[in-house]
Amino acid sequence: MNFFQWQRDAKRKTQRLLLLMFITIILLSIGIYFLIFFVFWFAADTQLMHVQGGMPWFFSWEFYLLCLVVVAAVITVGSMTKLHKLSAGGFTVAESLGGRLVTANTEDFYEKRLLNVVEEMAIASGCGVPDVYLLENERGINAFAAGYELDDAVIGVTKGCIHNLTRDELEGVIAHEFSHIIHGDMRLNIRLIGVVFGITMISEFGEHLLYARDDRNRSWLLGGGLLLLGFMGMLAASWIKSSICRTREYLADASALQYTRNPDGISNALKRIGGSQVGTLLNAQRASEVTHMTFGRCTSRFATETFASHPPLEDRIRKVEPKWDGTFLSPLKTMTDQPETETSPSESVLAVNDTVMLAVSKQQPTLPFKDKAEFKQTVMQVGVIKQDHLAYAKTLLKSLPMPVITAIHDPLQVHLVMMALLFDQDEDEQIKQLAIITKAYSDNTTAVAVQQMATYLVSFSSQDLLALLEIAKPVLKLMSLMQRTQLNNCLFALAKADGKLCLFEWALLAMVKHYDNKWSETYRAGSLKKSVDLAMVAEDIQIIIAAICQISQMPKPQQLTCFAAAMQQLSLQGEIPSTLSFGRLYKALQQCTQLKLDDKESLIETCSDCIAFDQSVILSEVQLMRVIAVILECPIPPVVYQHEPVKAF
């Protein structure tokens, strides 16, 4: 399975959730129907005996319909209100649990190790680096992923998790959470929070009535009954969460094993949970709302299996380690800023693994894929992390010079790295760019710092440099609107300093613009968006396919043949546009973001076929494919190949 298949599976589960929610509403409305009958009967209300057409009004279908509408309205309004609050992004969930954003320039050993593991997994998966939140007051070993989309995802980790696990075990937990991000579980989890919150509105309304007694005792009877029905509704909600979530935990554990190729990581993390007195419990007041989102059960461990959102710990361990002897591990003793001495099995292979893309390179214009099918298979592994992908990410991060690592994690220096990514190697162009930076930041110090930073990046490939943007994303997000606007204007001026725009420069600017739009205060990830099909954006698809053909360096006749084959593959008609520009290409990609899932998969597949149409792949095509994947929010892992990569300039 790949990203698109997982997303379809998540969509089916969402439909199942809506069906179960509808059934819950029906059952609750029936319960309230009989509750009202009991209240009037107990109060000996003569109105109950009022007959219309020989039948008490209680037995009329209009009365039941009224109960149904009221219950549906209360649950729906409660759910939609909660979902609207959560639509701001995954950080709302993390902050509701007392989470603190882990800043990239942290000096804490455990936090630095956590961020490093998250960055490795993000680069390997092709996802952007998510914000990381630390639940400082939680001693339990737990974690979660929250958000609506890839770009607003956050990962939350407890203090007990980062202090009581080894690096390999922490990597297994983070890989587990990344699988939830890639599999589309986050959006489903958010919707589950909304549904459960809506159901609790029934009991809250009952509690309000319970304390608003009248002389005839109707209010406390009705309130007590609503409390009871609300409790039954909560049991139903727990069963819904259990029925939807349990199988996903097994899948996430298996995915973590697949991503890391280290069975000891995820299994030992689970064993340490079993050996901990606290386990995975959370003390946060709203912990019950996120029981289905966490790595392990975060509420009472005595919950019955029928209503538990997670499988038994022992079963999860045996799934990844069939020969487990039943022995748990004790949590690690807390270290104090000690250097990491352990080396994971995958890291020990890196020194001799010639399939890993190394940072230092010579010019190599053509990438060594055997044929069209091999490249297509590489691209269509959307959301599938392999050992080579994780090895590439670890190698890249280890090869970064310390000044780059420091600056890219510092909100006060990250702009230096961003400008250095666009710094030209030609001395004449450098003079122009230095003047642009000096004018933009009103001092020469910034320009000199950028020039120095650029010397550290001169040997890195364009794929490496675009990965640096992904690493910088959480730090850029912390900048004020004025700071980002200043930086974006300067980046555009640097790219245009030589009077032209190369593909790498456009790719960087397009990704920055895409993320900047996501960070807008008016953007809400959870808002309803109208889906479109291929025919509705046919002109935009023509531009995208034509752009791939144009940068492919194929002869003109072969470009025409490739374009025609691509349009036929998508069941569309059209011709190569007479004029192409990067501006039109960016707008075309934006229009395609609302494509239906199946159509988006077809477009990605067609783009990969176009790139390999001439049985060769160049790095410019890989750059364009990366931008397409980022804007369409399809997590394509980095392209790893045996030969040394091409420089960006």
Task: Quickly list DSSP for 610-630.
Answer: HHTTTS-EEHHHHHHHHHHHH
Q: Judge contact between 281 and 350, C-beta under 8 A.
A: no
What's the whole-number average pLDDT of the chain?
Answer: 81
Query: What is the SS3 assignment for 56?
Result: strand
Say what the pLDDT of residue 454 is.
95
Q: For strand 617-618 and strand 131-135, is the pairing parallel, antiparallel, or unpaired?
A: unpaired
pLDDT digits (tens, 9 = 90+) for 415-454: 999 999 999 988 899 999 999 999 999 889 999 999 999 9
Cβ-in-10-Å burial (0-12, 13-18, 19+) of 372 comes to middle
pLDDT digits (tens, 9 = 90+) for 60-99: 677 778 778 888 888 888 888 888 888 888 899 999 999 9
379 Cα distance to chain centroid: 19
Model confidence at 6: pLDDT above 80: no
pLDDT bracket for residue 130 (50, 70, 90): very high
43 Cα distance to chain centroid: 54
Tell me the catalytic residues: 177
Give the C-alpha separation, 427 to 404, whole Å: 22
Q: Judge contact between 620 and 503, C-beta under 8 A.
A: yes
Q: Show Cβ contacts of residue 574 under 8 Å, excluding neighbours closer than 6 positions.
A: 538, 539, 541, 542, 567
Q: What is the pTM of this model?
A: 0.78
pLDDT bracket for residue 340 (50, 70, 90): very low
Residue that wins the pLDDT comparison between 322 and 336 = 322
Give the C-alpha separation, 500 to 404, whole Å: 27
Element (DSSP H or E) covering residue 367: strand 366-367
Give the C-alpha separation, 558 to 553, whole Å: 10
Model confidence at 352: pLDDT above 50: no
Give the C-alpha separation, 249 to 247, whole Å: 5
Nearest in space to 406 (alpha carbons), one of 118, 110, 113, 106: 106
Virtual torsion, Cα 280, 14, 516, 504, nearest 10 deg: 100
Partners of 52 in beta bridges: 55
Q: Where are the domains of the chain?
A: 11-336, 366-382+527-631, 387-514
pLDDT digits (tens, 9 = 90+) for 269-295: 999 999 988 888 999 888 888 888 899
Q: Judge contact between 612 and 376, C-beta under 8 A.
A: yes
Q: Judge contact between 600 and 367, C-beta under 8 A.
A: no
Model confidence at 579: pLDDT above 50: yes
Nearest in space to 520 (alpha carbons), one of 485, 470, 491, 475: 485
Say what the pLDDT of residue 31 is.
81
- Average pLDDT over every residue of 520-528: 61
Q: Judge contact between 649 and 404, C-beta under 8 A.
A: no
Give the C-alpha separation, 404 to 422, whole Å: 15
pLDDT digits (tens, 9 = 90+) for 191-214: 888 888 888 888 777 777 666 655
Q: Judge contact between 441 and 475, C-beta under 8 A.
A: no
**What are the phi and psi torsion angles at 178 (to 5°)?**
-65, -35
DSSP letter string over 6-35? HHHHHHHHHHHHHHHHHHHHHHHHHHHHHH
Q: Which residue has the tokens 């069941």?
A: 571
What is the tally of helices (H) and strands (E) in the chain? 25, 8
Say what the pLDDT of residue 381 is.
66
Cβ-in-10-Å burial (0-12, 13-18, 19+) of 64 comes to middle
Residue that wins the pLDDT comparison between 312 and 230 = 312
Nearest in space to 375 (alpha carbons), one of 614, 54, 630, 60: 614
Element (DSSP H or E) covering residue 154: strand 154-158
Q: Judge contact between 184 and 9, C-beta under 8 A.
A: yes
Give the C-alpha separation, 177 to 146, whole Å: 9
